Amino acid sequence: MSRLRPLTRALLGAWRFLRRDKKALVGSIILLVLLVVATFPSWFAHDNPAAEIYTPGAGLSWHHLLGTTSFGQDVYSQLIYGARQSVFIALIVGAFCTVVSVAVGITAAYSGGLIDDTLSLVTDVVLVIPTFPLIIVITAYVKSASFWLLVAVLVFTGWSYGARQLRVQALSLRNRDYLLAARARGESSWYVITVELIPPMTSLIVANFLSAALYAVLAASALQFIGLGNINTESWGTMLYWAENNEALQTGLPLWALAPGLAIALLGSALALLNYAFDEVANPALRPVSVKKMKKRMRKLGASA
């Protein structure tokens, strides 16, 4: 029972944080909605997104909220079912990137010496590799990229930035007395890293996760758009691919291209908003001071004298 208390505390803290910061609130609501849609698409769309059984090129109607594609598929269903790939790739790549960044960055900072030099070198090299050309080369080589290959490629190119950031912050915390105190009382290195070093870095780690997820959304969509994803799966990126290939904008089916584009932008914005909000938590200097609010408070103080 006492194990649950830190969890409920964390949740309450998160709730208070979200309520205070409008950016975070908007971002998390959008993300939550998209997550629900991605997990339970059948609640929102009843048509089979791949079935080419409807009138091709139909306009908006109650049956087809966003019209149909030139193959006769329901655009709305595609959008709903396509959410799964896009949202999950963002979250999965984000998670793996974070795990690798944390492992590499913190090990480098904590160990110092040769290990730090080696890991930093590796990080810097990977960081400098031009990401997009590399992704294109890899996926083009492998003809049709499966979901997991896409994840692997994105994680490989995405972890290094976070690793650098986390290493720097871990370095600044490393010589705080409470870490030395833990070592002095005989704790193992593993304990010091996981219990004493990582928890104060939580906000930076979360911010890293969000920016990695954002990177994944945009990079994955771009790859699918140019046809390097599996074009037979449902995702927003592949919708864009098919729409583009069939000249949707020119043939009077603009929603086929616009809907997935806007959806990608929506997911990206949600992640970006949350990212900004977490940056402010991690660095109070970024918090906005509204001049109007300030003057209002000072006037209130004057009244109490």
Partner 1 sequence: MSGPILQVRDLMVEYATPTGPAQAVHGVNLDLAQGEFLAIVGESGCGKSTLLFAIAQLLTYPASVVGGSITFNGVDLQSLKEEELRQYRWRDISVVMQSAMNALNPTLSVGAQLADACRAHTDWDDKRVAQRSEEVLSMVSIDKVHLKSYPFQLSGGMRQRAMIAMALLLEPKLVIMDEPTSALDVVAQRSLMRQVEALRKELGFSVLFVTHDMSVVSHFSDRLAVMYAGEVVELDTTREVFDHPQHPYSQGLMDAFPSLLGDARALTGIPGTPPALVNPPPGCLFAARCTHVMDVCRELRPELITKGTRAVRCHLVNPPERS
Partner 2 sequence: MSDAVLHVHDLSRYFRVGGLRSHGQLHALDDVSFEVAAGEIVALVGESGSGKSTIARVLAGLYEPTHGTITFEGEALKGRMSRKVRGRMPMVFQDPFGSINPVLRVGHSLLRSLKLHRPELDREGRQREAVALVERVGLTPGEEALRRYPHQLSGGQRQRLGFAQALASNPSLILADEPVSMLDVSIRIGLLNVMKTLRDHEGVSLLYITHDLASARYVANRMIVLYAGRIAEEGLTDEVIRNPQHPYTQLLMSTAPDPRLPLADIEGERDLGEPPKVIDPGPGCRFAPRCPLAMDVCRTTTPTMVTLSATHRAACFAVKAT
Which residues of the shown chain bind partner 2 in the complex (CB under 8 A)?
176-178, 180-187, 195-196, 199-200, 202
Distance CA 160, CA 168 (A): 13
**Residue 294 interacting entry, from partner 1, partner 2, none, C-beta within 5 to 8 Å by type:** partner 1
Angle between helices 254-282 and 236-245 (to 10 degrees): 150
R_g of the chain, CA atoms, integer Å:
23
Sequence-separated (6 or more) residues with CB below 8 Å from residue 40:
none
Choose among 194, 134, 193: nearest CA to 158.
134
With b meaning 16 or more CB within 10 Å and e meaning fewer, what string describes 193-207? beebbbeebebbbbb
Told to check if 12 binds partner 1 by CB under 8 A, we report: no
d(CA 255, CA 134): 32
| DSSP 3-state of 68 | strand
When CB distances are held under 5 to 8 angstroms depending on the partner's kind, the choice from partner 2, partner 1, none that residue 182 binds is: partner 2
297 binds partner 1 (CB under 8 A): yes
**In the complex, minimum distance from the CB of residue 293 to partner 1, in angstroms, rounded to a whole number:** 9
Euclidean distance between CA atoms 211 and 80, whole angstroms: 24
The neighbour count for residue 175, using CB atoms within 10 Å, is: 8
Query: Residue 285 binds which one of partner 1, partner 2, none, with CB within 5 to 8 A depending on kind?
Result: none
Count of residues interacting with partner 1 (CB under 8 A): 8
C-alpha distances in angstroms, 153 versus 44, 148, 167?
31, 9, 23
Q: How far is the CB of 174 from partner 2 (least distance, A)?
A: 12
Stretch that binds partner 1, among 71-79, 132-140, 197-205, 294-302 (CB under 8 A): 294-302
Q: Which stretch, 10-18, 19-27, 178-186, 289-297, contacts partner 1 (CB under 8 A)?
A: 289-297
Decide if residue 305 touches partner 1 (CB under 8 A): yes
Q: Pick from 11, 23, 29, 30: which is nearest to 287 by CA?
A: 23
Least distance from partner 1 to the Cβ atom of residue 301, Å: 5
Rounded to the nearest whole angstrom, what is the least distance from the CB of residue 287 to partner 1 in the complex?
12
Identify any residues that bridge with 74 across adjacent strands, giving them in sequence order.
68
29 binds partner 1 (CB under 8 A): no
Measured from the CB atom, is 186 or 302 closer to partner 1? Answer: 302
* 56/200 with CB nearer partner 2: 200
Q: To 10 degrees, what angle do helices 254-282 and 22-39 make? A: 130
Stretch of 49-57, 181-189, 235-243, 290-298 contacting partner 1, by CB under 8 A = 290-298
Is the Cβ of residue 3 or residue 185 nearer to partner 2 in the bound state? 185
Instruction: Assess 294 for contact with partner 1 (CB under 8 A).
Output: yes
From residue 182, alpha-carbon distances to 104, 111, 172, 178, 199 in Å are: 22, 16, 17, 6, 14
Return the number of the residue (12 or 53) whose C-beta is nearest partner 1. Answer: 12
What residues line the site for partner 1 (CB under 8 A)?
Answer: 289, 294, 297-298, 301-302, 304-305
